[in-house]
Amino acid sequence: MDFMKAYFTAFILTFLMLARPALAQQDVVWVQIEAQPSLSAAQDAARRYAGAMPDVNGFALGGGWYAVVLGPYLRADAERVLQIYRADRLIPNDSYIQLTSRLGQQFWPVGANTLGQVQTPQVTQETPQQPVVQAPAPQPTDESPADARRSEAQLTRDERRALQIALQWAGYYNAAIDGAFGRGTRGSMAAWQVDRGYPETGILTTAQRAELLADYNAPLTSVGMAMVRDDEAGIEMLLPMGEVTFETYEPPFAHYGTAGDLGARVLLISQPGDQTTLFGLYEIMQTLKIVPLEGPRRRGSDSFTLEGRNSAIVSYTEAALRDGQIKGFTLIWPSGDEPRRERVLAEMKASFARVEGVLDPATGSEAVQDIDLISGLEIRKPRVSRSGFFIDASGTVVTTSEVVESCTRITLEADVEAELVTEDRALGVAVLRPGAPLAPMSVARFVATQPRLQSDVAVAGYSYEGVLGAPSLTFGTLSDLKGLRGETELKRLALAALPGDAGGPVLDTGGTVLGMLLPRATRGPQLPGDVSFAANATAIGNVLADAGLSPQRAVNGAAITPTELSRVASGMTVLVSCWD
């Protein structure tokens, strides 16, 4: 008997596949075998059936439901398939014939467009356009409470849980998701009915259940959630394909860039490696612009998660090490769309699956190289960087007020966080304390006597805001012991400085600090390029004294060699950065 069943099944399927080219010219139908109230559940069902049968397809039905169907077939062939598969118990007994006109967007197989290959029959009064939301066909929308209770009794436990989840998401239900419709569930259903203008029965009709689930699934359908299998990356998961599209591979990332108006982006993470590789990726990800600074971070022995948010985006990353392969994903979503982002992210997490394959580290080696990019992603850069210098052995820094204005985060040498101790905005001087004690190679020794006019001076600073990775010296002369308007707290220099030099120490030939270079004025008369100003050592000392700090004083002013001057200057000069 089993042999005969297999024979007839194979015969029918072979015949139908040979007849497939004629379907485009005739009335075609499908065999609906299952309907699910969530996309992920429908994806799982389609995958399960596809492992046992050919011709498995999945389509949205409307109302938040998704159908798994077989076909397309001519009606007579569909009846035959229905008969054979039911007899073989390959499909449920309540499977039935479905019309093409009732099928919406295809979600299975991924990327397929089966409806585009068949001609949809004309809709007549005998062919209602109202979508089917479950099998058997839905009850009328004017169900009595008794009818609603009878239709509700046919729901599976998973369908009942789906309704509780939808009620919870809508803010009506806060108890256990158990599929049991007790007093709490009934009360939440009644409250939902009242808010929607329905009679308060506490029993949802078929139409009301469909409406509730449609609202719950609207965030997912609005972004075109679809299952994607990326064989290069070895990852299969639901992605918002209405908003993103594949762009390129630049290991360890598969880039899915913005395709819609929302501005969402997705990265699939895939690379061979070990724990060291994983930990390195964890650190690298936090240097990227797509991972904002504010947000929780968690790193375990074989996995990590990163969340970050700013005024523009919200970013979530997860990655895990399994069997020598690191795989995960990043979702970048615009700020201000949190409910939809949370739903999309939950579906992505739940559907994430590893399949065979991992990105080859050599893939994308022909990509354009850029010092500001890592694997095609922009490195996070500070809003502004200036110079500063150490004034004690614990790493306290003097810098310009310009670099600490309106900062979310201040860093020394790009990665050591610092806090503002005190500031004199009128003078343009700020004092910073590192979050952890530092051990400077050298600290500032402030001049104890008045320097000589026209003496040689040098400014140590990060002229190009850290691009070169080390401070440089700019040489000039001391033009005046006061400012242009006679300000005694200033010194005028004949020295052509760059913006990044502001905040750096002004040194004499013995390595003694005469003052701190101030930024060039952006308002008022524009001075010649070789005219700069510095806050003098006495004025800086007063700011430090008010903060309870005592700078070191120079013992003598004997000149040192240029090499030694460069060593001293580099040891005390620090890059100060302001981050949004």
- Say what angle helices 183-196 and 206-221 make with each other, to 10 degrees: 80
DSSP states along 46-81? HHHHHTT-SSEEEEEEETTEEEEEEEEEEHHHHHHH
Mean pLDDT of 31-45: 86
Query: Helix, strand or coil for residue 166?
Result: helix
Residue of 86, 55, 59 lying closest to 72 (CA atoms): 55
Q: Does the pLDDT at position 135 exceed 70?
A: no
Residue of 222, 246, 21, 23 lying closest to 118 (CA atoms): 23
As given in the structure block, the two tokens for residue 151 are 């239709």
Give the bridge partners for 456, in sequence order: 477
Q: Does the pLDDT at position 23 exceed 60?
A: no
Rounded CA-CA distance 189/201 in Å is 8
Rounded CA-CA distance 238/348 in Å is 5
Q: Does the pLDDT at position 255 exceed 60?
A: yes
Q: What is the mean pLDDT of the chain?
A: 84
Mean pLDDT of 547-575: 89
Rounded CA-CA distance 536/517 in Å is 9
pLDDT at residue 382 in the model: 86
Query: Helix, strand or coil for residue 550?
Result: coil
Distances (CA, A) of 204 to 29, 127, 140, 155, 385: 31, 27, 13, 12, 61
Query: Helix, strand or coil for residue 27?
Result: coil
* Cβ atoms of residues 61 and 67 within 8 Å: yes
Rounded CA-CA distance 433/422 in Å is 10
Distances (CA, A) of 414 to 380, 466, 472, 502, 577: 11, 9, 17, 17, 7
Query: Helix, strand or coil for residue 6?
Result: helix
Q: Against a cut of 0.85, is the pTM above it?
A: no
pLDDT tier at 238 (50, 70, 90 boundaries)?
very high
Mean pLDDT of 533-551: 93
Ordered domains of the chain (ranges, CATH): 2-117 (no CATH), 145-221 (1.10.101), 228-340+352-378 (3.40.1000), 384-579 (2.40.10.120)
- Reported as a single tens digit per residue, the pLDDT across 75-134 is 878 888 888 888 778 888 878 888 888 888 888 887 777 887 764 333 232 332 333 333
pLDDT tier at 372 (50, 70, 90 boundaries)?
very low
pLDDT at residue 136 in the model: 35
Rounded CA-CA distance 339/341 in Å is 6
Mean pLDDT of 180-203: 93
Rounded CA-CA distance 351/349 in Å is 6
Element spanning 14, H or E? helix 2-19
